[in-house]
Structure 1
Amino acid sequence: MATIRKRNRKWHVQIRRKDHPTLTRSFDMRKHARAWAREEESKLDRIQAWQSPVSMHRLTLGDIVRRYRDEEVPKKRGADVETTILNAFLRSELVNNKLSEIEPAHFAAWRDKRLQHVRPATICRELGIYQHMFGVAIKEWGLPLATNPLAEVRKPKRDDRTPHRIPDSMVLQLEEAAMKGRTPLIIALLRFALETAMRRGELLALQWSDINLERQLLHIPKTKNGCPRTIPLTPAATAILLSLGRTKETSFVFPITRSALAQCWRRLCRRAELKDVRFHDLRHEAISRFFELGLSLPEVALISGHKDHRMLMHYTHLRPELIVLKLNATEPRDHY
C-alpha cells in the first residue's frame, strides 16, 4: 500500500514491497501523487503475479507469447516478420497449455508436425525466437522456471542447399517474365541487387538521401549486423538509379513492401519456369561476381558488410571454368 504525506507544501509518495526497492516521488498536487501511486502499484502487481509460483498454474504459453510480442518484438529491426510468426504460433493448440504443463516434449512434437509443411531452416528460426522468448521471461520477467524448455529441443538439420548462380541468361528470363507482370520496378530492383550485393531489407529501406551519385557512393545506415556502411556504386548501378529518377511521391528508391516483393518474386520464377531460385541468391551471385572481377577480400567485405570472412566465403561460388581461363593466361613456368 502506498503512503502519501504532505511535507513542505509537497505531496510525498512512498511505496514499499517485499523483495523490491522502495519507490519515492514528490508532487505539487495530491491527485497527481495518487495517480502515480496507482500506476506504480499496478506495475508491481503484474511483476509479482508473474514471479509467483502460482502463476505457472494460472498463465498459459499464449500469455507469454502475447507479452513477448507486444513488449519485446517492437524493439527489434525485424519486428514485422517476427510478429507474423508469433501471431501464427498463437493459432496453434500448444499455446493453450498451462506453463506448469509445458515440457520440451511438447515443442519436439510441434517441431515434427511442423516439419511436414515447412523447411528445416524455418523451424530453426522459429525455435530460436521461442527460445529467446523464454530466456527473456526467465531472466527479465522473473518467470519461476528452472531451465529454458527450448534449450533441450533438438533443432532439425538445415538443408544442404547450394545457392544458384544467376547467369545473364537467367536474368533475361526473369526480366521477360517481369515484363508480363504489373510490377516493372522489379527489373530495376533485380539488376540493382546484382550490382550492389545488398540485402533485401537494405534495398527496400534505401532512400534517395542515402545516395551520392556524383561520388558514386551509397550509404546504408541500418544493417543486419548493426554496423552502417558506405559502398561504391558500379557504373551499371549508377545508370539504374538515373533511369529510375526521383519522384515527389516517395523518398524510397524502391517503394515496394516486403510481402509484395516476396509475392512478385514467386510469380516471376513461376512464369520463367525457374525452380528453387530465391531472391537472396542475388546476393550470393553479386558477391561471387565481385571476386571474379578481381576485387580483394577486404574490398568485397566492405561492399557486402560481412565481418566474418568465413561467412563471406559461404557467399562465394566461383566458376571453375573462369579459373581455368586465368591459369591458361599465365606464363608457363619452367619445369625442373
Structure 2
Amino acid sequence: MSKVKRPAEPEARTRRLLPGEFEQLMIATQYDIDTPPESKSERIGAAIVFAIETAMRAGEICGITWEDVDLTKRTVYLPKTKNGNPRTVPLSKKAVKVLEQLKTLEDCKRKAFNLKSDSLDVNFRKIRNKCLIDDLHFHDLRREALTRLAKKVDVLNLAKISGHTDLRILQKVYYAPDMGDIALMLD
C-alpha cells in the first residue's frame, strides 16, 4: 500500500448565477414572492430565493420547523448542520417574506417548506434543465449568496452566517468577489 497514492481532491466549484438565470428559474417555477407557493414547483422557487437570501444548504432549508423561526428577530435557528454545530441565521426582509407566505399554507404547519432534500434536488435539476441552464447545482446558490452577503457584512459575520469554522475554506470556495467592484471600493 505504500505505493498507492490518495486520489487528488476535486477542484472546488466556482459556479455562480449568470445574468438572467435567476429570472429564468423564477419563470420556470412560476414563483411569485407576493403569493403563497402552493405547487411543488412554486415551493422550489421559494427555496431558491430563500437560499440566495440566507446562504443555507438545501438540507437546512428543508429542515426548518416553525419552532426554530423567529420572525420578530428575523432569525432561523438550525439545531443540526453539516459540521455538527448549531447556528442561528439572520433573515433578510425578502427571506422573511418567503417564510410569511409559507406560514399561510395548510401543508406547511410543521416544516416551513414541506420539502425533502432529495426532492428539492431532483426538482431543481428538472427546472434547471427546462431552462437550458448548464451545470448549475442547488448548492451553487450558497456561493452566490455568500458572495452577495460579503458586500454587506464583514468576513467574521459571514463565517457565522454560513457556519464556516475555517475562514480559508470560506475564502477559497465560496467568496467570489468581482475584482472590478473591489477596485471601485479603493477610490
TM score, norm. by length of structure 1? 0.49
Give the SS at the match of 2:73. coil
Gaps of 5+ in 2: 32-38
How far apart, CA to CA, are the structure 2 residues paired with 1:257 and 1:152?
Answer: 43
- What letter matches 1:287 in structure 2? L
1:303 to 161, 165, 179: 161
Q: Which residue of 2 aligns with 1:233?
A: 91
Structure exhibiting the larger radius of gyration computed from Cα positions: 1
Give the SS at the match of 1:283. helix
Q: Which residue of 2 aligns with 1:23?
A: none
Q: Which residue of 2 aligns with 1:212?
A: 70
How far apart, CA to CA, are the structure 2 residues paired with 1:167 and 1:321?
Answer: 16
1:285 to 140, 144, 158: 144
Say if 2:169 is the partner of 1:318: no
> By how many angstroms is 1:163 displaced?
2.0
Q: Which residue of 2 aligns with 1:173?
A: 24
> By how many angstroms is 1:245 displaced?
2.0
Say if 2:160 is the partner of 1:160: no
Q: Counting helix residues as a fraction of each chain, which structure ranks higher?
A: 1
How far apart, CA to CA, are the structure 1 residues paired with 2:115 and 2:40?
Answer: 13
> By how many angstroms is 1:159 displaced?
3.5
**Alignment CA distance shift 1:247-1:173 (3 Å):** closer
- What letter matches 1:289 in structure 2? R
**Alignment CA distance shift 1:192-1:326 (3 Å):** same
How many residue pairs match? The answer is 178
How far apart, CA to CA, are the structure 1 residues paired with 2:4 and 2:125?
Answer: 32
- What letter matches 1:179 in structure 2? Q
1:140-181 deviations in Å (ceiling 9; x for gaps): xxxxxxxxxxx9754433442542122562111111122399
- What letter matches 1:178 in structure 2? T
- What letter matches 2:149 in structure 1? F
Say if 2:110 is the partner of 1:263: no
CA contact (8 A) 1:196 1:286 kept: yes
**Alignment CA distance shift 1:213-1:267 (3 Å):** same
1:203 to 50, 56, 61: 61
| Matches for 1:61-210 after TM superposition, within 5 Å | 154-167=5-18, 169-179=20-30, 183-210=41-68
> By how many angstroms is 1:217 displaced?
1.4
Q: Which residue of 1 aligns with 2:103?
A: 245
| Matches for 1:32-47 after TM superposition, within 5 Å | none
How far apart, CA to CA, are the structure 2 residues paired with 1:278 and 1:248?
Answer: 29
CA contact (8 A) 2:74 2:91 kept: yes
Give the SS at the match of 1:173. helix
Give the SS at the match of 2:182. helix
**Alignment CA distance shift 1:224-1:152 (3 Å):** farther
1:237-263 deviations in Å (ceiling 9; x for gaps): 111111222445440011112221121
How far apart, CA to CA, are the structure 1 residues paired with 2:4 and 2:106?
Answer: 51
How far apart, CA to CA, are the structure 1 residues paired with 2:151 and 2:87?
Answer: 22
- What letter matches 1:291 in structure 2? A
RMSD in angstroms over aligned alpha carbons?
2.2
> By how many angstroms is 1:305 displaced?
0.6
Gaps of 5+ in 1: 1-103, 105-150, 331-336
TM score, norm. by length of structure 2? 0.85
CA contact (8 A) 1:208 1:246 kept: no
How far apart, CA to CA, are the structure 2 residues paired with 1:263 and 1:232?
Answer: 27
